[in-house]
């Protein structure tokens, strides 16, 4: 899958309370959660986002709670990909389970700036910065995670096993 | 091959080789979700086409975050969980008079214990590492998969050995050791890894103290925080009604990624300042900061020993007029014990608010939300921006003695100075 959109840069250690504060956790509806995405970072953050834009984050993105509402709210906001220097562990699993593509790029993250137009090839992990012409190669998705992605996420993966 | 504690426990639950870095499928002993995460898990569970849980005795549903329900939406959420529990005939459903903060409740009831593999849709599931369980937080869909299959997958984590030694000063305990460690290694210091605690201080700690420390492993990014199983653990497990648990130690020559040493000689109580748990300073450096609220409770520090520690400071004293001091015993049993020991009377006479067994203000859920510009000191585990309410509020983390002393002083204070 190739995704093209504008980069929205956020900092290091963006926690799940920043992504979706506790007061919004009284629903599981993606649209409602999406409307309040990053509300704990900055009021009205969502207003700057268009469909298919890309979140670009620093170290340890998604630290904090196990709340799956966090990746759901990002997807609900229309953001299909998060590119980060590194991810917090629970968030990383949740992202794949929900079908949110997460790419870990390490220090190369500095080649992506706020507002840059990016093209992300989720299959190869290549990110082209259309604004600067630079390119970033992400670490490959581990084979087991790829198996879950290939099944279409954890829900169909388990469904298949239950049926077997 | 010699194994770390993490590898050893996972190995007991899988037929594959549980060596660090490998992905293994493991059987689970207990699967947990709460009133925030269970509704999503139930949604995924149904979408998976699952019709029953793998074992009705090995699923725990604990409605502790927004209960007693704060509004219609949260009441509807709990209803979803309650209906599901009935439909699946889940043995361990808790709400109302039998509910407590999940990570204090499950160990107390003997539902989790030494050598177990536990997965929970709550990041502080790692608390049970204090009992020698490989316990870790996951999202709702992972939990739904585990509820349906009775197994899940793990990447076996490399381990960091944490040795804690020295002679602790008065008013310094488990919470302070953990804050000190997180301050040293940072909130991503144990990312994707297991923390394994050892050393004379750890051996001397009570099981409750070990759970306080394991609880915050996630605050360093850790997958689990583990303690070897010794006589104390077995005694705790036995009192909780468990049978057949055995001691469990890492192998002598097990391989660790690194060793971190924490020396507690001359260490004073530690405080995590806004807005990350690794922004840790000794209490003297932040003493004098005015506080509006003090929270004593949560899965980190809401157990009976924590309440005793706070009560010892508050006995015969008064909470400063401008401070709301909220005390939340973590489970009904702890509540009753505190009542019997006269602790609740001490809190009430000091002018505290004694509330029900709930997560309450820890995550800005309800009962103790902060307004803009307000500052709280709390025995909870996270001080992220806006965690307890307004984005313009601040949370400082400490142990129970400091939270109590600060409530009396009306400002952050060392317990020896009030």
**Chain A / chain B CB contacts < 8 angstroms:** 135
Residue pair B169/B267 in contact (Cβ under 8 Å)? The answer is yes
ipTM summary value: 0.93
Indicate whether A144 pLDDT > 90. no
Residue A17 to residue B386, Cβ atoms within 8 A: yes
Residue of A12, A21, A22 best to disrupt the B interface, most CBs of B under 10 A = A22
Residues A40 and A54: their CA atoms lie apart, in Å, by: 18
Structural contact between residues B364 and B390, judged by C-beta atoms closer than 8 angstroms: no
For A9-34, what is each residue's pLDDT tens digit?
Answer: 999 999 999 999 999 999 999 999 99
Give dist(CA B356, CA B332) in Å, integer. 8
What local confidence, expressed as pLDDT, does residue A140 receive?
A: 72
pLDDT for A1 equals: 81
Q: Who wins on pLDDT, B319 or A146?
A: B319
Find the mean pLDDT for residues A87-115: 94
End-to-end CA distance of chain B: 54
pLDDT at B356: 97
Residue A142: pLDDT band by 50, 70, 90 thresholds? confident
Distance from CA of A134 to the nearest CA of B (A): 28
pLDDT given at position A80: 94
**Residue in the structure block whose two tokens are 């090839």:** A121
Tell me the C-alpha distance between A95 and A101, whole Å.
Answer: 7
Nearest to B127 by CA among B241, B11, B210: B210
What residues 187-226 of chain B have any CB closer than 8 A to a CB of chain A?
187-188, 191-192, 218, 221, 223
Q: First CA to last CA across chain A, in angstroms?
A: 29
The pLDDT of residue B394 is 98
Name the token pair of A5: 């959109």
Query: Token pair for residue B373?
Result: 């510009």
pLDDT band at A148 (very low <50, low <70, confident <90, very high): confident
- Residue A164 is predicted with a pLDDT of 84
pLDDT of residue B212: 98
Interface with chain B: mutation pick from A12, A68, A99, A157, highest number of B CBs within 10 Å: A68
% of chain B surpassing 70 pLDDT? 100
The answer to whether A28 contacts B40, with C-beta atoms less than 8 Å apart, is yes
- The reply to whether residue B191 touches residue A66, judged by beta carbons under 8 angstroms, is no
Q: What's the residue count for chain A?
A: 164
Residue A146 has pLDDT above 80, yes or no: no
Cβ-Cβ contacts under 8 Å, A100 against chain B: none
Q: Does B120 touch chain A (CB under 8 A)?
A: yes
Low-confidence residues of chain B, pLDDT below 70? none
* pLDDT of the residue at B294: 98
Cα(A9)–Cα(A116) distance, rounded to whole angstroms?
A: 9
What per-residue confidence (pLDDT) applies to B268?
Answer: 97
β-strands A2-9, A117-121: how paired? antiparallel
Residues B191, A163: C-beta atoms closer than 8 Å: no
Question: Other CB atoms closer than 10 Å to residue B135's CB: what's the count?
Answer: 33
Question: Taking a C-beta distance cutoff of 8 angstroms, is the pair B135, B233 a contact?
Answer: no
Could you tell me the pLDDT band of residue A39, with boundaries at 50, 70 and 90?
A: very high
Chain A residues 136-155 within an 8 A CB cutoff of chain B: 142, 144, 153-155
CB contact B73 to A (< 8 Å): yes
Work out the pLDDT band at A147, boundaries 50, 70, 90.
confident
Asked whether the beta carbons of residue A26 and residue B74 sit closer than 8 angstroms, the reply is yes
SS3 of residue B305 by DSSP: helix
* B149 lies within 8 A of chain A by CB: yes
Cβ atoms B4, B254 nearer than 8 A:
yes
Q: Is residue A68 within 8 Å of residue A94, measured between CB atoms?
A: yes
Q: How confident is the model at residue A161 (pLDDT cuts 50, 70, 90)?
A: confident
**Cβ within 8 Å, pair A13-B188:** yes
pTM: 0.96
Q: What is the pLDDT of residues B198-249, one digit of tens each?
A: 999 999 999 999 999 999 999 999 999 999 999 999 999 999 999 999 999 9
pLDDT above 80 (res A143) = no
Burial of B215 (0-12, 13-18, 19+ CB in 10 A): buried
* Mean confidence (pLDDT) of chain B: 97
């Amino acid at each position: 899958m190739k995704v093209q959109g504008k980069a929205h840069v956020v900092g290091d250690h963006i926690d799940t309370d920043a992504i979706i504060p506790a007061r919004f956790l009284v629903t599981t509806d993606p649209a409602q959660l999406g409307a309040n995405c990053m509300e704990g970072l900055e009021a009205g953050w969502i207003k700057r986002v268009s469909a298919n834009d890309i979140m670009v984050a620093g170290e340890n993105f998604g630290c904090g709670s196990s709340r799956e509402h966090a990746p759901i709210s990002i997807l609900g906001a229309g953001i299909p990909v998060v590119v980060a220097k590194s991810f917090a562990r629970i968030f990383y699993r949740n992202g794949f389970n929900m079908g949110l593509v997460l790419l870990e790029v390490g220090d190369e993250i500095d080649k992506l700036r706020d507002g840059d137009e990016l093209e992300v090839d989720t299959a190869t992990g290549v990110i082209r910065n259309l604004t600067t012409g630079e390119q970033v190669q992400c670490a490959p998705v581990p084979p087991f995670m790829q198996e879950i992605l290939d099944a279409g996420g954890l829900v169909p993966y388990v469904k298949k096993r239950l049926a077997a | 091959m010699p194994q770390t504690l993490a590898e050893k426990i996972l190995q007991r639950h899988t037929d594959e080789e549980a060596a660090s870095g490998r992905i293994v499928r493991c059987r689970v002993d207990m699967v947990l979700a709460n009133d925030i995460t269970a509704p999503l898990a139930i949604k995924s569970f149904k979408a998976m086409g699952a019709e029953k849980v793998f074992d009705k005795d090995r699923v725990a549903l604990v409605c502790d975050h927004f209960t007693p329900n704060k509004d219609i939406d949260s009441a509807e959420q709990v209803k979803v969980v309650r209906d599901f529990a009935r439909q699946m005939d889940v043995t361990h459903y808790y709400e109302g008079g039998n509910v407590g903060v999940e990570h204090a409740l499950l160990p107390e009831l003997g539902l989790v214990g030494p050598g177990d593999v536990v997965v929970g849709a709550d990041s502080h599931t790692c608390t049970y590492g204090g009992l020698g369980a490989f316990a870790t937080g996951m999202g709702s869909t992972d939990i739904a998969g585990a509820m349906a299959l009775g197994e899940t997958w793990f990447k076996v984590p490399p381990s960091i050995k944490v040795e804690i030694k020295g002679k602790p000063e008065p008013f310094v305990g488990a919470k302070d050791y953990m804050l000190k460690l997180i301050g040293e290694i940072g909130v991503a210091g144990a990312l994707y890894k297991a923390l394994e605690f050892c050393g004379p201080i750890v051996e001397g700690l009570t099981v409750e103290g070990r759970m306080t420390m394991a609880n915050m492993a996630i605050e360093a990014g850790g997958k689990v925080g583990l303690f070897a199983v010794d006589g104390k653990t077995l005694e705790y497990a036995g009192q909780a009604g468990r049978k057949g648990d055995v001691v469990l130690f890492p192998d002598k020559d097990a391989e660790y990624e690194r060793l971190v040493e924490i020396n507690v000689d001359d260490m004073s109580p530690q405080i995590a300042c806004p807005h990350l748990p690794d922004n840790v300073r000794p209490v003297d450096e932040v003493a004098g900061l005015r506080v509006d609220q003090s929270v004593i409770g949560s899965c980190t520090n809401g157990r009976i020993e924590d309440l005793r520690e706070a009560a010892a400071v508050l006995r015969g004293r008064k909470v400063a007029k401008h401070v709301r001091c909220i005390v939340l015993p973590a489970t009904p049993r702890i509540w009753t014990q505190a009542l019997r020991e006269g602790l609740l009377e001490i809190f009430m006479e000091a002018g505290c608010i004694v509330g029900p067994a709930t997560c309450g203000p820890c995550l800005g859920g309800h009962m103790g939300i902060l307004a803009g510009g307000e500052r709280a000191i709390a025995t909870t585990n996270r001080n992220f921006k806006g965690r307890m309410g307004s984005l313009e509020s601040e949370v400082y983390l400490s142990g129970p003695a400091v939270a109590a002393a600060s409530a009396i002083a009306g400002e952050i204070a060392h317990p020896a100075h009030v």
